[in-house]
């Protein structure tokens, strides 16, 4: 595993970012083995697999061109990525995720209209390994402060939905979260009530300074299924609008109970009384992480420390008690650092761009779907997990089908997708797509979680 580090040069004249790659060596990272990139970025780059070779590439606007560029990870060569008249929004929330329901990752861009400078969102569909713009969507009309786009299967129908937090006034006295369903163009509010016991809370607006004194953090939703009911929840940072305190809060995904969110079928509800979370003052970032490797998502919070420039990291164990199940999926690259030895299946590392979907039957006998993308966003403290934990609710039924799709190279018309059947709940799957161009030969490893013990029970090969 390698590490890409972005930084502000010491004597910078503009707010452009330098970047350096530290190359991993087995289980270690050698600080002397690094490559300083010969271009700077206007904004933090997106890590994606642009050419479908399962080697991560670096996408962004550089000092060499006002058009997006791509640094191919295989040979560290720069190439034009796209031709567009739009200007990239700063801070961006680009994503590399399947939005057209073909199990192949598309490119989602947050941009400014070239003529009106209006905030907009572009989907560049991956057609046979080549990207072309297919959909342009403007921001919600009454949203003045626009946060970072996030993606989740919000209503559990197996398709990705676009979530957008923001504010309807400049000072974020009136915060809101909108959603647009997969394939639609209508923005639907899924959270508008930010008041609790007479206190009004709101998002913390992004401050873009030329010489920042602290880390500028945009309005962000960190997605995860906290209660494993099959509907993804979120963590956010909110500020008391009449004071200075800001805290992390859990947003629970619940059935819609008012007319405004009817089209979305679900809505967020702020979980105000989460005692341990409420005790962390001056929170800056909150995200999910499976600390105990048990398939249950715990919470990690970054807050300001006791002195001006200090930070503190807090971890909160998820003590949610329910008879709920999950499946945890990790998709690797299936690559060797050089030629793979004969009869040795390579593992590789976690990849940006894979898409996972399952179908099953819930406890009431109804069809239930769920989906997620792996490592779809990388900039501005996206802090996405290198795996996906998909909640299954209270159904202990086998997963009827589990599908995994990976990116494909230019010119390849066949979709790289694999299907498995009869997956036991509370399983961890490690998917190794090797060889890449024969997805039906992809390997899998299953680990079953029973009680508090992990039992490695199967490592096999699916071939049809």
* Predicted confidence (pLDDT) per residue in 105-134, tens digit: 999 999 999 888 899 999 999 998 899 999
Q: Answer whether 431's CB lies under 8 Å from 330's CB.
A: yes
Which backbone phi and psi does 189 adopt, to 5 degrees?
-70, 130
> CA–CA separation, 237 vs 280, rounded Å?
11
What's the pLDDT at 213? 60
- 394: its two tokens: 């209270």
Q: Count how many Cα atoms sit within 13 Å of the Cα of residue 421 in the half-sphere of its side chain.
A: 2
What's the pLDDT at 306? 78
Cα dihedral across residues 378, 384, 385, 387: positive or negative = negative
CA distances from 60 to 45, 239, 402, 464 (A): 5, 31, 33, 40
Q: Hey, how many other C-beta atoms are within 10 angstroms of the C-beta on 199?
A: 13
What is the mean pLDDT of the segment spanning 369-396?
A: 94
End-to-end CA distance of the chain: 32
**Three-class DSSP category at 123:** strand
pLDDT score of 28 more than 90: no
Nearest to 371 by CA among 385, 384, 356, 381: 356
**Is cis: bond before 129, omega within 30 of 0?**
no
**Is cis: bond before 431, omega within 30 of 0?**
no
pLDDT score of 143 more than 70: yes
> CA–CA separation, 168 vs 293, rounded Å?
40
pLDDT score of 34 more than 80: yes
CA 50 to centroid of chain Cα atoms: 17
| Average pLDDT taken over every residue of the chain | 89
CB burial of residue 301 (10 Å; 0-12, 13-18, 19+): buried
**Three-class DSSP category at 13:** coil
pLDDT band at 451 (very low <50, low <70, confident <90, very high): very low
Give the pLDDT confidence of 195-230 residue by residue, as tens digits: 999 999 999 988 765 555 667 899 999 999 999 999
Q: Which residue has the higher pLDDT, 211 or 337?
A: 337
């Amino acid at each position: 595993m390698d590490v890409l580090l972005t930084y502000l040069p010491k004597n910078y004249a503009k707010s452009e970012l330098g970047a350096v790659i530290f190359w991993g060596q087995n289980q270690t990272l050698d600080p002397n083995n690094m490559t300083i990139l010969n271009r700077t970025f206007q904004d933090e780059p997106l890590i994606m697999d642009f050419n479908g070779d399962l080697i991560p590439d670096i996408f962004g606007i550089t000092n060499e061109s006002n058009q997006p560029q791509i640094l191919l990870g295989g040979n560290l060569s720069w190439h034009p990525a796209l031709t567009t008249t739009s200007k990239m929004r700063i801070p961006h929330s680009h994503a590399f995720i399947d939005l057209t329901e073909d199990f192949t990752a598309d490119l989602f861009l947050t941009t400014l209209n070239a003529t009106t400078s209006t905030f907009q969102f572009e989907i560049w569909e991956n057609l046979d390994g080549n990207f072309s713009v297919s959909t342009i969507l403007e921001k919600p009309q009454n949203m003045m402060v626009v946060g970072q786009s996030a993606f989740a299967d919000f209503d559990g129908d197996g398709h990705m939905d676009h979530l957008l937090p923001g504010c309807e006034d400049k000072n974020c006295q009136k915060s809101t979260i909108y959603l647009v369903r997969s394939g639609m163009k209508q923005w639907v509010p899924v959270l508008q009530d930010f008041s609790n016991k007479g206190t009004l809370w709101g998002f913390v607006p992004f401050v873009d300074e030329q010489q920042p004194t602290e880390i500028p953090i945009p309005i962000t939703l960190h997605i995860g299924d906290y209660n494993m009911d099959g509907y993804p929840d979120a963590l956010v940072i909110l500020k008391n609008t009449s004071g200075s305190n800001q805290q992390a809060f859990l947003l629970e995904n619940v059935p819609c109970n008012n007319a405004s969110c009817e089209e979305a079928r679900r809505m967020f509800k702020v979980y105000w009384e989460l005692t341990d979370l409420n005790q962390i003052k001056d929170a800056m970032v909150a995200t999910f992480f499976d600390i105990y490797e048990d398939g249950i998502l715990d919470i990690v919070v970054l807050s300001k420390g006791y002195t001006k420039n200090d930070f503190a990291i807090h971890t909160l164990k998820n003590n949610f008690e329910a008879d709920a199940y999950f499946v945890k999926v990790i998709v690797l690259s299936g690559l060797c650092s050089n030629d793979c030895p004969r009869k040795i299946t390579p593992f590789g590392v976690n990849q940006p761009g894979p898409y996972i979907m399952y179908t099953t039957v819930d406890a009431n006998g109804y069809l239930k779907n769920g989906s997620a993308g792996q490592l779809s966003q990388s900039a501005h403290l996206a802090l996405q997990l290198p795996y996906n934990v998909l909640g299954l609710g209270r159904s202990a039924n086998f997963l009827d089908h589990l599908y995994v799709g990976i990116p494909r190279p230019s010119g390849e018309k066949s979709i790289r997708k694999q299907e498995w059947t009869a997956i036991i709940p509370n399983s961890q799957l490690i998917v190794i797509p090797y060889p890449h161009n024969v997805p039906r030969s992809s390997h899998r490893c299953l680990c079953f979680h029973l009680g508090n013990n992990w039992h490695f029970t199967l490592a096999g090969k699916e071939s049809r």
